[in-house]
Amino acid sequence: MNELKRLIVIGLIVWLLGSGGASAEDGIDFEVKADFRGKYIWRGQNIDDDPVLQPSIAGSCGTLTATIWGNLELTNINDKSGDFSELDYSLDYSAVLPGIDGIGYSVGVIYYDFPSRAADGTKAPDTIELYWGLSFDLPLSPSITVYHDADEAEGSYVSLAVAHSIEKIAELGPDVPVGAEISASFGWGSASYDKYYWGTDQSKLNDLVLSVSLPVALGNCTLTPTLNYVTLLSDDIRDTDAYGTDSDFFVASVGLSKRF
């Protein structure tokens, strides 16, 4: 069944990214990214405690975007050095609510594929999430997104976020502006979600993420150093030690992206 779900999602993404020899003239825009991170923290979970490389490619056609994202192990902390421990395939549809100015919405699907296997041949089960969200054209750009795992966890994770962007705070040279992006997000997990990922069967306010980025425009590329602070908010989740004994993390990263 997992193979069928994977083929359906990948097929839709390949259709968007490569249909008809797509190009900018066809109204399809592409973005390639590569992020080097000191560690991989996802929704408060310490997935990789050592550096990782996370490349991605996205294709957008109007309001529809398809993305393939990967987590490449750079060390042997998980016995998978040089392997992709995770590949995510996603489809997103984002637009403005008809007749309502200042409110955008998004709906989409994410297929989480964990291709690498342990020494005994076992692998983490793949799973699939559906999501929907609202964003508001207000000060601090508040947004809410609900992710529902419709497969393995059969639970929901809700993200509440605010963000503020400054187009230019400095200039490294002629036509080399430095911007700033500041954001904060809270994550809440349902009882079934937390049971699957953390081993505690209670709905909790899971994690807080504070982030500061300084994007630097380099021609048609953008270099973005980022510092994140991640902390677990629930004492019950802190006590599970499901992903190690640490509950607070500082994560530095640098990313390079290009649109064409």
At residue 201, the pLDDT reads: 85
For the chain, domain boundaries: 2-259
pLDDT above 70 covers a percentage of the chain that reads 87
Three-class DSSP labels, 66-122: EEEEEEEECCCCCCCCCCEEEEEEEEEEEEECCCCCCEEEEEEEEEEECCCCCCCCC
pLDDT of 11 higher than 80 = no
At residue 12, the pLDDT reads: 62
Q: What is the tens place of the pLDDT at every residue in 137-153?
A: 999 999 999 999 999 99
Residue pair 155/195 in contact (Cβ under 8 Å)? The answer is: yes
Q: What is the tens place of the pLDDT at every residue in 17-41?
A: 555 444 445 578 899 999 999 999 9
pLDDT of 179 higher than 90 = yes
Q: What is the tens place of the pLDDT at every residue in 71-113?
A: 999 988 767 777 899 999 999 999 999 988 899 999 999 999 9
At residue 46, the pLDDT reads: 94
Q: Give me 136's structure tokens.
A: 């508001």
pLDDT of 257 higher than 60 = yes
pLDDT of 43 higher than 80 = yes
Q: Burial-class residue 244 by CB neighbours within 10 Å (0-12, 13-18, 19+).
A: exposed
**Residue 104: CB partners within 8 Å, gap ≥ 6?**
94, 95, 96, 97, 134, 135, 136, 137
At residue 21, the pLDDT reads: 42
At residue 24, the pLDDT reads: 46
According to CATH, the topology of domain 2-259 is Porin (2.40.160)
What is the mean pLDDT of the segment spanning 196-221? 94
What is the mean pLDDT of the segment spanning 227-244? 92
pLDDT above 90 covers a percentage of the chain that reads 69
At residue 62, the pLDDT reads: 87
pTM above 0.75, yes or no: yes
At residue 13, the pLDDT reads: 62
What is the mean pLDDT of the segment spanning 222-240? 95
Averaged pLDDT of the chain: 89
